[in-house]
Amino acid sequence: MNDDIETITELANRRQYFRVENKASVDIAPRADNQTAAECFELSPEFGLISEFQLLDVESKHLLRTLTDKDKNLGQFLKVMNKKLDALSRVLAMNNQQNSNDNIQTVNLSEGGLALKSESEYTKGQSVAIKLILLPSYSGLILEGDVLSCRGSQSPYEVHIAFTDISEAHQQLIARHIMRVQTQNRASTPTS
């Protein structure tokens, strides 16, 4: 972590990440050095299944494209099956999400980290676990991060967190979400 970087905007600019403001369900918990992020939360089996589906989807995109080039019918069939799994995953996520509606807020998200409002105060450099559900896709991620800064004299605090040890698959999932949101925002913005 670079001590000069205190906000997610500075992190995104330094590393040339795209970022977006979007609704998400976020839980943050302090994390000890010997703990994984998943150990910091009580996770339902559904959440684990949803996360696994999404990671497998990211990992299989290239294979599906290659297969579709060789056999269009098989590729189309597999795309339909993937849409079925996505629909099932969304239903599971919506049922799982009903417990987390209190945690929905607007966050500033990039592949490198996020900024959010928090009722709890954190210290610069503190290790945290992040349970992040991106909306409206209900993509669920369990991530580790370090606090870049915590601003404000009272609750809610503005907390900026840099992701640490993020897998390439999680980074791609966040990047796809950001591109999807930016595309939707452009489509809904009237042109003059």
DSSP secondary structure, the chain, as one string: --TT--SHHHHHHHHT--EEEEEEEEEEEE--TT--GGGGS---HHHHHHHHHHHHHHHHHHHHHHHHHH-HHHHHHHHHHHHHHHHHHHHHHHHHHGGGGGGEEEEEEETTEEEEEESS---TT-EEEEEEEETTTTEEEEEEEEEEEEE-SSSSEEEEEEEES--HHHHHHHHHHHHHHHHHHHHHSPP-
With cut-offs at 50, 70 and 90, classify the pLDDT of residue 151. very high
Residue-level pLDDT at 19: 84
Residue-wise pLDDT for 65-98, tens only, equals: 899 999 999 999 998 998 888 788 777 777 766 5
The model's confidence at residue 2, banded by pLDDT at 50, 70 and 90, is very low
Write down the domain spans for the chain.
8-186
Q: Name the fold adopted by 8-186.
A: Thrombin, subunit H (2.40.10)
pLDDT in tens, 17-62: 788 999 998 999 999 989 999 999 988 888 888 888 888 887 888 8
pLDDT at 11: 63
Our measurement of the distance from residue 3's CA atom to the centroid of its chain's CA atoms, rounded to an integer in Å, reads 24
- Name residue 159's beta-bridge partners: 116, 150
Q: Assign 16 a pLDDT band (cuts: 50, 70, 90).
A: low
- Give the pLDDT confidence of 90-109 residue by residue, as tens digits: 777 777 665 556 788 999 99
Are 114 and 79 spatial neighbours (Cβ–Cβ below 8 Å)?
Answer: no
pTM across the whole model? 0.79
Burial 82-109 (b: 16+ CB within 10 A, else e): beeeeeebbebbeebbeeeeebeeebbb
Q: Stretch 113-128: mean pLDDT, rounded? A: 96
Percent share of the chain, pLDDT over 90: 45
Q: Residue 4 pLDDT more than 70? A: no
Predicted pLDDT at 1: 46
